Amino acid sequence: THATPRILQIGRLPLPTLETELAARYSVACLADQADPQGFLAAHGAEFSGVVTTASIGLTGEVIAALPHLQVISSFGVGFDALDIGAATARGVQVGYTPGVLNDCVADMAFALMLDVSRGIAASDRFVRQGQWPQARFALGTRVSGKRLGIVGMGRIGQAVAERASGFRMEVGYHNRRPAEGCALPYFESLTALAQWADYLVLTVAGGAGTRHLVNRDVLDALGPQGYLINVARGSVVDEAALVDALAERRIAGAGLDVFDNEPHVPAALMALDNVVLTPHTASATHETRRAMADLVLENLHAFYTSGAVRVSVPGTVAG
């Protein structure tokens, strides 16, 4: 005769049906729906044993502190840079997340951005729709096949990007904190050296303090006027102001960006450039992948409430 667990949903979820599914299984309240979230937490914080959030929305230490009976966090996404993991583990709160199931779609998006910025897919679509074809010629693009691909962050997603490169007969190299176990690809200890070597620098590294502004002016200058930057990781990995300068001054050839510093706000300076392709953090946004992520969010909660442990926990959050 256990009571239905009370779950605090921090904000809107990327798959609306997941909200319905959660509400069918648990007693859910959504923090973003409250007129006075602070007051709501003060009055009701002690009711909640679980939290559902997303990699984008995250979870602050302040909210964790306002939930004295919190036992489990289930996050939608693979990134945990926006979650206060330290505050959760200090309290013994388990943290579930959704790695693995989005690798293919994120890697597909990296290639989509690479192809688009090089061949002008979005730009040529605008060209055709605006009726320019009869009057004008669309600018020549840049060949992708056979070029050098530098991957920054050789985790699950980096490996999925590397796999796709073989069909394009691209040479692949990578940079990581240390050589990735079992990875036969050429390892560059220096990111600048990788950028110098590469035609395309693809970011698939985790966000957070450890990688903040890893791609700075020096790295962009090493990538050079023929080089393209593709970011499907986190906006924080790139010094965005330095990127805008490098793009505007054509010190790099172009960029394909799915992530930004201050989402959902994209700097006007970036929107004014014609050598960039911009997507609204949609690398994992397919029906199939978002469904698989939602299933894992539900599984992590279910496993916790039935067996005491989430199915897939953020590394380092479970003792032993």
**Member of 147, 164, 175, 281 binding ligand 8YV (CB under 6 A):** 281
Among positions 294-313, residues that touch ligand 8YV (CB under 6 A) are none
> For this structure, is 263 an active site residue?
yes
3 state SS of 229? strand
Task: List alpha helices for 120-238, DSSP H.
Answer: 121-129, 156-165, 191-197, 217-223
x/- map, 3-32, ligand 8YV, by CB under 6 A: -----------x------------------
235 lies in the site for ligand 8YV, by CB under 6 A: no
Query: Is it true that the peptide bond before 267 is cis, omega within 30 degrees of 0?
Result: no
User: Site residues for ligand 8YV, window 112-171 (CB under 6 A)?
Assistant: none
State residue 265 phi and psi, 5-degree precision: -100, 125
Query: Total binding residues for ligand 8YV by CB under 6 A?
Result: 11
49-108 positions binding ligand 8YV, by CB under 6 A: 54-56, 76-79, 102
Nearer to ligand 8YV, 63 or 170 (CB): 63
Shortest Cβ 292–ligand 8YV spacing (Å): 11
Residue 161's alpha-carbon distances to 92, 107, 152, in angstroms, are 35, 5, 11
Cα→Cα distances 53→44, 70, 95, 241, Å? 18, 13, 11, 29
Q: Which of 62, 163, 263, 288 is catalytic?
A: 263
Instruction: Kindly compute the dihedral angle of the four CA atoms of residues 22, 24, 29, 30, in this order, to the nearest 10 degrees.
Output: 50
* 8 A C-beta contact, residue 115 and residue 136: no
Residues interacting with ligand 8YV, by CB under 6 A? 14, 54-56, 76-79, 102, 281, 284
Active site residues: 234, 263, 281
